[in-house]
């Protein structure tokens, strides 16, 4: 069954303004989680790109969505810990994922401290 997007091809003209594009929150979530999943283990610039996107748009994600990102990365890091083959990419990638998890946990903690 095909998921219906919140925007149709006909809507693109009305949601695109120069360099800015209006994206529904559900579509942004799918793009971000897909980017994170794709980036794990790539051994390319994708790790840093994924984190830039998550850092830029984390305020649009719900707490459960941030928790899902954390959980998925932590599961892959646990697998990485048992491999010597670089399951999560190069050493610098692994460190980026670890730092990213800490950053996301800090964001969640600040949200909870602020009463969100």
Domain ranges of the chain: 9-113
Over the chain, what is the mean pLDDT? 86
Q: Contact, 112 vs 62, CB < 8 A?
A: no
pTM of the full structure: 0.79
Q: Is the pLDDT of residue 60 over 60?
A: yes
pLDDT at residue 22, rounded to an integer: 84
Lowest mean pLDDT among 15-19, 49-53, 59-63: 15-19
pLDDT value at residue 5: 53
In this prediction, residue 23 carries a pLDDT of: 86
Instruction: Please state, in angstroms and rounded to a whole number, the distance separating the CA atoms of residues 43 and 116.
Output: 36
Record the tokens describing residue 17, joined without a space: 């303004």
Three-state secondary structure readout of 91-106:
HHHHHHHHHHHHHHHH
Contacts of 66 (CB under 8 A, 6+ apart): 58, 104, 107, 108
pLDDT band at 115 (very low <50, low <70, confident <90, very high): confident
């Amino acid at each position: 069954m095909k998921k219906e997007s919140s925007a149709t091809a006909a809507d693109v003209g009305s949601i695109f303004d120069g360099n800015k594009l209006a994206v529904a929150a559900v579509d942004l979530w799918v793009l971000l989680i897909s980017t994170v999943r794709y980036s794990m283990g790539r051994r390319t610039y994708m790790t840093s790109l994924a984190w830039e996107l998550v850092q830029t748009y984390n305020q649009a994600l719900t707490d459960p969505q941030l928790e899902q990102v954390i959980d998925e990365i932590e599961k892959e890091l646990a697998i990485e810990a048992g491999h010597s083959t670089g399951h999560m990419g190069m050493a610098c990638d692994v460190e980026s994922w670890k730092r990213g998890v800490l950053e996301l946990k800090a964001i969640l903690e600040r949200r909870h401290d602020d009463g969100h």
